Structure 1
Amino acid sequence: KMADARRALDWEAQWECAIDPKTAKAIRDDRKPEHEDTCSMCGKFCAVRSMNKALAGEYIDIL
């Protein structure tokens, strides 16, 4: 379930699957990324975001 939620960038579902949802949500809230379709670690270099865009035939801007 976590892998599916991550692939979909579904933050609510990821928190539901987390061992410690409260802490996971607090970390995400504390490190808000510039765009909601990325994680706080990778930003526009997010592999999940890039793969989702590639599979959808969309342009991937990482520069």
Structure 2
Amino acid sequence: MNWKEMIKLAIDPETAKKIHYRAGTEIDNEPCSMCGEFCSIKILEEALSKSKKKKD
């Protein structure tokens, strides 16, 4: 997810940035803070990473 662009396009970019950082996530790292360990994006990234390591 392109969080920099999402924050830039928000109605209130400063508040969006504060909320994003308040969740303990870094701008470029985490998809969001809503699902936590059940985040489908995180699970997919981990599965693809493991699959790639097995191929190497």
Do the two structures share a fold, i.e. TM-score over 0.5?
A: yes
Structure 2 residue aligned with 1:4: none
Give the CA deviation at 1:46.
2.5
**Larger fraction in helix:** 2
So what's the TM-score if we normalise by structure 1?
Answer: 0.52
Pick from 17, 20, 27: which aligns with 1:28?
20
Q: Which runs of 5+ in 1 are unaligned?
A: 1-8
Query: How many Å apart are 1:17 and its aligned residue?
Result: 1.1
CA distance in 2, matches of 1:31, 1:16: 18
Q: Which runs of 5+ in 2 are unaligned?
A: 50-56
1:41 is aligned, of 31, 34, 38, to 34
Displacement over 4 Å in runs of 4+: none
Question: CA deviation digits over 1:41-62, x for unaligned, max 9?
Answer: 1124234x16xx48xx827xxx
Q: What is the identity, as a one-letter code, of the residue corresponding to 1:40?
A: S
Root-mean-square deviation over aligned CA pairs: 2.5
Higher-Rg structure is 2
2:10 aligned to 18, 28, 32, which one?
18
Give the structure-2-normalised TM-score. 0.57
Percent of matched pairs sharing the same residue: 36
